[in-house]
């Protein structure tokens, strides 16, 4: 064992147990959801996303990803990079990421790679369809062309409040 490895081992031995614990919300069992469970949740996400004007789906980084034009508004995630989560990742308005994670840490999480850009992860097994739809629609509004958002808000079912339809 060289000197550097001895130093690392010594640091590991004196490190507080909390420092060696996985981050809050990370599971010790990191495996993908069963195909049936993943397909059921993907169906929920797909139904909401593809009902939005101009939305399309294609694979990106090996996962189903939803676009409006060339901009991403939702990414499905099934054990992405071994994180053990079945989730959808969406952009959030400024301040919403912290608010959602702080208030509901079992439902929302800080996603790898895009969390620093304000995106939030949503644990699909912990949210109902109505809440999931609200989150995805809010994400779509952030990235969709203004004309499409206006048409959606002024639509026949009175969607101007942003909570219906």
pLDDT digits (tens, 9 = 90+) for 90-119: 999 999 999 999 999 999 999 999 999 999
Q: Where are the alpha helices (DSSP H) in 94-163?
A: 96-103, 129-143, 146-153
Which sign does the torsion angle of CA 82, 95, 117, 87 carry?
positive
Q: Above 80 in pLDDT, residue 1?
A: no
Mean pLDDT of 17-41: 63
**Pair of tokens at residue 47:** 């139904």
Q: Enter the DSSP assignment of 79.
A: S
Average pLDDT, the chain: 82
Per CATH, which fold does 35-161 belong to?
3.90.1150
| Cα–Cα distance for residue pair 130/156, rounded to 1 Å | 19
Q: Above 70 in pLDDT, residue 4?
A: no
The H or E element that residue 78 is part of is strand 71-78
Q: Above 70 in pLDDT, residue 70?
A: yes
Q: Above 90 in pLDDT, residue 157?
A: no
Annotated domain spans of the chain: 35-161
Q: Residues 39-64: pLDDT tens digits?
A: 999 999 999 999 999 999 999 988 99
| Cα–Cα distance for residue pair 77/122, rounded to 1 Å | 10
Quote the pLDDT of residue 130.
Answer: 97
* Phi, psi of 81, rounded to the nearest 5 degrees: 55, 30
- CA count, 13 A, side-chain hemisphere, 123: 17
| Cα–Cα distance for residue pair 165/162, rounded to 1 Å | 8
Quote the pLDDT of residue 132.
Answer: 98
């Amino acid at each position: 064992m060289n000197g550097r490895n001895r130093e690392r081992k010594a640091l590991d031995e004196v490190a507080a147990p909390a420092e060696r614990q996985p981050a809050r919300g990370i599971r010790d069992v990191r495996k993908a959801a069963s195909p049936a469970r993943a397909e059921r949740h993907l169906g929920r996400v797909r139904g909401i996303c593809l009902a939005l004007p101009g939305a399309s789906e294609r694979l990106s980084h090996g996962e189903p990803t939803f676009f409006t034009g060339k901009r991403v508004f939702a990414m499905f995630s099934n054990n992405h990079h071994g994180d053990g989560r079945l989730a959808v990742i969406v952009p959030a308005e400024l301040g919403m990421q912290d608010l959602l994670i702080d208030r509901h840490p079992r439902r929302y999480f800080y996603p790898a790679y895009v969390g620093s850009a304000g995106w939030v992860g949503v644990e699909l097994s912990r949210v109902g369809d109505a809440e999931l739809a609200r989150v995805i629609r809010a994400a779509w509004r952030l990235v969709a062309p203004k004309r499409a958002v206006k048409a959606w808000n002024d639509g026949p079912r009175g969607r101007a409040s942003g909570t219906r339809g």
